[in-house]
């Protein structure tokens, strides 16, 4: 039986490789079959693990993650699978900051601190000054995520007193479906909180107070609602570690900062109230009102937090960690404020396990998983197998299953430039640096290193150039029209004041892509 399974696994592995090269099927589907065969084989007879140094395995995993996900994210960008929001947004913000213009964007036009308060972005300004554009951000994000395995490994080694299981948790982090989902979804400075929070907890537990404070400050600077994660961290320090002054002071200070950011600082930069409460309009219009209603109407709040989709979300988060966090409820405290934020929302993006809104949840679930593993008795066994090993095996199996779609992005079909993609890059090469432009959504991140860039058809009235995919215009937009006569194109946009027409000349055309320059009458 073992030989049959070994042979079947080899055949399926060869099919996965052929799918990656030739796309006979989606690679993830063949990989899932391979994963099932390997799992059955491991249950019948455990694999002999190589006698490698755990620290070296973790180092190799960190390097492999950084390389693989840099490749995936950069090739997704080159294949026009990235977006104006949020990659184009951050490209423009950081370009503006690197030029000494401050954190301004035109997606829409505003001071960026009026949308999200993220001063930690300043750490990336030197990189962007040297290498403007999206690629450096995507690589920096992948490298930052990979480095999160190091404090997790150190912390797990400290808590467990053994290198091999600590290395297993570091690798489990690197194959996390949540981490992969966040990494692939463009760029988000909030996600840098993942390695920062892991580092903060490690520094706290090892008495590195100054480094702990630095990690907390950088976390708070990732985004205004990172304060929720630090509030949770403070409560954990107070309740689980009995460091009452430190913990309650940290929680209270973070809560005060959250109110200041949302009530004073961001409205000052935006010129109007904080915009993101719309996701919680069913609970109130302000932070105070939302919190008050949650306290006064707990059953109603609980009703908002319970649904099939939200249960599926929680199961996905826990399954990828073998449900180990449930064995360490005290260590789940830091994750609760952000989990509550996600669960009371009615926006499905917030309760998807693969989005950036889990950046303040994932680090604490990982740490709770380590504690949960520590609580499993080494003597406990199931069917003659150590329970600890079985649970870790289950965690890896479910993680690989839930993140199998990541494999699709390595397929040649996904990143090899086709004729239209090569044509698009040729058209992009003719866009003048610095010129104002309204561009098709998938082009925005490629042309965002300028003061004025808009998502077509927004901003065409103040743009010198328009870059679009003519095969999608007017599409389903009844307010948009395109009329072409030779080298002249007229765009008609209907608004509140009626239709407005704008005349352009064709500068470059290829495979349906048009680069237009405004004609002045």
Are residues 382 and 370 part of one domain?
no
Q: Domain check: are 365 and 387 in the same one?
A: no
| Residue 116 neighbours by CB under 8 Å, 6+ apart | 189, 190, 223, 224
Q: Are residues 341 and 484 in the same domain?
A: no
Same domain, 428 and 411: no
The string of pLDDT tens digits covering residues 148-175 is 999 999 999 999 999 999 999 999 999 9
DSSP 8-state secondary structure symbol assigned to residue 48: P
| Length reported for the chain | 521
Cα separation, 222 vs 19, in Å, equals 39
Q: In the listed set 343, 375, 407, which residue is the last one of a domain according to the structure?
A: 375
Whether residues 214 and 340 share a domain: the answer is yes
**Whether 23 and 85 share a structural domain:** no
Q: What is the pLDDT of residues 330-384, one digit of tens each?
A: 999 999 999 999 999 999 999 999 999 999 999 999 999 999 999 998 888 777 7
CB 177 within 8 A of CB 316: yes
Q: Across the strands, what pairs with 505? A: 488, 517
Among 317, 344, 375, the domain-final residue is 375
Residues 144 and 214 in one domain: yes
CB of 182 closer than 8 Å to CB of 86: no
pLDDT tens digits along 9-49: 899 989 999 999 999 889 999 999 999 999 988 888 887 77
Tell me the per-residue pLDDT of 171-197, one tens digit each, with 9 for 90 and over: 999 999 999 999 999 999 999 999 999
DSSP element (H, E) containing 516: strand 513-518
Identify whether the C-beta of residue 128 lies closer than 8 Å to the C-beta of residue 95: yes
pLDDT band for 412, please (50, 70, 90 cuts).
very high
**Final residue belonging to a domain, choices 375, 403, 427:** 375
- Identify whether residues 334 and 474 lie together within a single domain: no
Do you find a cis peptide bond into 86, omega within 30 degrees of 0? yes
Q: Which residues contact 358 (CB under 8 A, 6 or more apart)?
A: 178, 182, 317, 338, 342
How many structural domains comprise the chain? 3
> For every residue of 194-253, which 3-state class applies, written as one string?
HHHHHHHHHHHHCCCHHHHHHHHHHHHCCCCCHHHHHHHHHHHHHHCCCCHHHHHHHHHH
Clarify whether residues 370 and 381 are in a common domain: no
Do 194 and 319 share a domain, yes or no?
Answer: yes
- Domain containing 442: what range? 419-518
Compute CA 169 distance to the chain's CA centroid, rounded to the nearest angstrom: 20
**314 and 203, same structural domain?**
yes
Please tell me the distance from the alpha carbon of residue 204 to that of residue 74, in angstroms, as a whole number: 35
The answer on 365 and 389 residing in a single domain is: no
């Amino acid at each position: 039986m073992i030989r049959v399974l070994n042979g079947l696994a080899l055949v399926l592995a060869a099919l996965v490789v052929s799918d990656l090269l030739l796309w006979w099927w989606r690679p993830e589907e063949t990989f899932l079959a391979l994963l099932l065969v390997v799992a059955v084989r491991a249950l019948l007879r455990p694999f002999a693990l190589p006698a490698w140094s755990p620290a070296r395995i973790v180092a190799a995993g960190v390097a492999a993650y950084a390389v693989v996900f840099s490749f995936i994210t950069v090739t997704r960008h080159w294949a026009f699978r990235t977006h104006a929001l949020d990659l184009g947004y951050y490209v423009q913000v950081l370009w503006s900051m690197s030029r000494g213009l401050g954190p301004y964007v035109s997606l829409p036009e505003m001071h960026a601190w009026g949308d999200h308060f993220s001063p930690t972005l300043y750490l990336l300004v030197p990189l962007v000054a040297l290498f403007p554009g999206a690629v450096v951000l995507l690589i920096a994000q992948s490298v930052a995520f990979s480095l999160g395995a190091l404090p997790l490994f150190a912390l797990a080694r400290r808590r467990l007193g053994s290198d091999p299981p600590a290395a297993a948790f570091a690798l489990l982090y690197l194959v996390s479906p949540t981490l992969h989902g966040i990494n692939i979804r463009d760029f988000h400075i909030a996600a840098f909180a993942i390695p920062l929070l892991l580092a903060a907890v490690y520094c706290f537990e090892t008495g590195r107070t100054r480094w702990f404070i630095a990690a907390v400050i950088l976390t708070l600077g990732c985004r205004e609602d990172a304060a929720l994660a630090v509030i949770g961290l403070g409560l954990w320090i107070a309740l689980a570690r009995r460091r009452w002054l430190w913990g309650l002071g940290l929680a209270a200070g973070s809560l005060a900062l959250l109110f200041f950011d949302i009530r004073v600082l961001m409205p000052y930069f935006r010129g109007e109230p904080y915009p993101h409460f719309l996701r919680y309009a069913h609970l109130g219009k302000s932070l105070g009102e939302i919190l008050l209603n949650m306290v006064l109407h707990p059953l109603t709040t609980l009703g908002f937090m319970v649904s099939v989709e939200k249960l599926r979300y929680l199961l996905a988060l826990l399954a990828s960690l073998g449900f180990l966090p449930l064995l360490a409820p005290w260590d789940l405290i830091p994750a609760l404020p952000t989990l509550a934020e996600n669960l009371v929302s009615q926006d499905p993006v917030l309760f998807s396990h693969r989005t950036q809104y889990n950046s303040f949840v994932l680090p604490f679930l990982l740490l709770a998983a380590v504690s949960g593993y520590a609580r499993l008795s080494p003597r406990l066994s199931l069917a003659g197998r150590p329970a600890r090993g079985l649970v870790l095996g289950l965690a890896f199996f479910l993680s690989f299953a839930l993140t199998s779609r990541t494999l699709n992005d390595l397929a040649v079909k996904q990143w090899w430039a086709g004729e239209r993609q090569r044509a698009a890059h040729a058209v992009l090469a003719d866009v003048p640096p610095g010129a104002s432009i309204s561009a098709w959504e998938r082009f925005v991140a490629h042309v965002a290193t300028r003061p004025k860039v808009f998502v077509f058809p927004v901003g065409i009235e103040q743009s010198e150039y328009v870059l679009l995919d003519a095969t999608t215009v007017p599409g389903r937009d009844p307010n948009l029209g395109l009329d072409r006569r030779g080298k002249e194109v007229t765009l008609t946009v209907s608004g509140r004041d009626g239709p407005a027409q704008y005349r352009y000349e064709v500068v470059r055309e290829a495979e349906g892509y048009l680069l237009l320059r405004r004609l002045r009458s």
